[in-house]
Chain A
């Protein structure tokens, strides 16, 4: 008898910006959608995020960023994941990210970017339809 498949998500805030209200709202919404959400708190380095994702064996990493450093931090996280031989984690991003940056981030391997105002139900559906494990 197999237990039912529960989606595990790591919500992380890379970079130095100082509040995490948005990340917490998402974390709660995903929990309410039946997912197990590991919340790691503020000011995470890419190295910490990737290590936590490995130990927690998550299906999804949700990155939330407001500081504008996404063009540096997001690719770095993808690079570290590749270095560790991980290609089965769905990585999505959100926060204040200008539209013109999105194609570059997707090229780096971020599956989707959700800008402010995206209904949370859309994020939930995206995760459910795209988990790789």
Chain B
């Protein structure tokens, strides 16, 4: 109960501790999440993704300051990849967010992806709920997106800002497959550099060629995160987009889909875990028979299902 109380009283130390327990898959975390669930659903969740070094953290810093100036509170989750070799991670996003550290209306947590594919830490889903129940108006999730990995962000966020920078050559081509589908807004950051307009044109062309029907065609905004240029516009477009999807009922629909997907994943995970635990011996026996051509896999599956239904 202590954890839950702490979160509802907006105690940052408790929020930080609960996120750690979530990362460790501690049963106490599940207990707390159960009780916090009814307090969630009130934050807007914004994903920020793009290649490493694009200026995502710098943009998050500037955006959060704008949101604070409007009296809103902001939770930030910055996810960086875990090294597959050592299990360690270097989480450097706070370097760009030093201005925010002492702001009482801001909470920042760096997370390593810890083995989950798809760029987003498994624990990030639950960490979002913690900050939601905590009462943050906005939750921004920064993830590194290259190739396919940025796609996971849509499973968590209400909307996604894709950050690109000029001068990465064929980058747009290389990452377009994943990105076309998920961007609600494009930020062309480092637009103090040569090639920003060209990149804007390239993105426009890609959007025109895309088969996707847009409810709202993604705006493309040039930004310079280090000086603050374009941030007002970016923040305005984000609010506009959120209002639009809310008023059209799209937000509710999207959240329902996310809830469904999340619950399906939960079911699949736990049911298969249970089956492998309870029916491990039968599965192994069947497997041997399949290998020896004593039985075919389809009949084996039916036998397994029979034993699950009759069993218990």
* Residues of A that sit less than 8 Å from B by CB: 1-3, 5-6, 8, 27-28, 30-41, 44, 47-48, 51-52, 54-57, 84
Contacts and interface: CB of A to CB of B under 8 A. Distances in A.
B108 A39 contact: no
Chain B contact residues, majority secondary structure:
mixed
B110 A56 contact: yes
B131 to A, nearest CB: 11
Contacts of B107: 55
B192 interface: no
A37 B88 contact: yes
Contact of B98 (A30, A32, A44): A44
B112 interface: yes
A37 B90 contact: yes
Contacts of A30: 88
Contact of A31 (B19, B20, B26, B88): B88
A3 B23 contact: yes
A52 B110 CA distance: 10
B240 to A, nearest CB: 30
B187 to A, nearest CB: 23
Given A47-B102, A54-B13, A36 B24 contact: no
Interface string B107-133: 111101010000000000000000000
B25 A2 contact: yes
Contacts of A57: 16-17, 19-20
Interface in B76-99: 82-83, 86-92, 94-95, 98
B176 interface: no
Interface residues of B, number: 31
Contacts of A34: 86-88
A16 to B, nearest CB: 14
A1 to B, nearest CB: 6
Contacts of A41: 92, 94-95, 98
A39 B86 contact: no
14 contacts: A3-B24, A33-B88, A34-B86, A36-B89, A36-B110, A37-B88, A37-B89, A39-B94, A40-B98, A41-B95, A48-B98, A52-B94, A54-B13, A55-B108
Contact of B109 (A27, A32, A56, A84): A56
Contacts of A56: 16, 109-110
Contacts of B24: 2-3, 5
B3 to A, nearest CB: 13
B86 A32 contact: yes
B101 A38 contact: no
Contacts of B16: 54-57
A36 B91 contact: yes
Q: Most chain-A Cβ atoms within 10 A of its Cβ — which of B19, B92, B108?
A: B92
B237 interface: no
B257 to A, nearest CB: 28
Nearest to A56: B110
A36 B94 contact: no
B12 interface: yes
B126 to A, nearest CB: 12
Interface in B13-66: 13, 15-17, 19-20, 23-26
Contacts of B26: 2
B94 A38 contact: yes
A35 B13 contact: no
Most A Cβ at <10 Å: residue of B88, B98, B112: B88
B90 A31 contact: yes
A39 B91 contact: yes
B25 A3 contact: yes
A53 B83 CA distance: 22
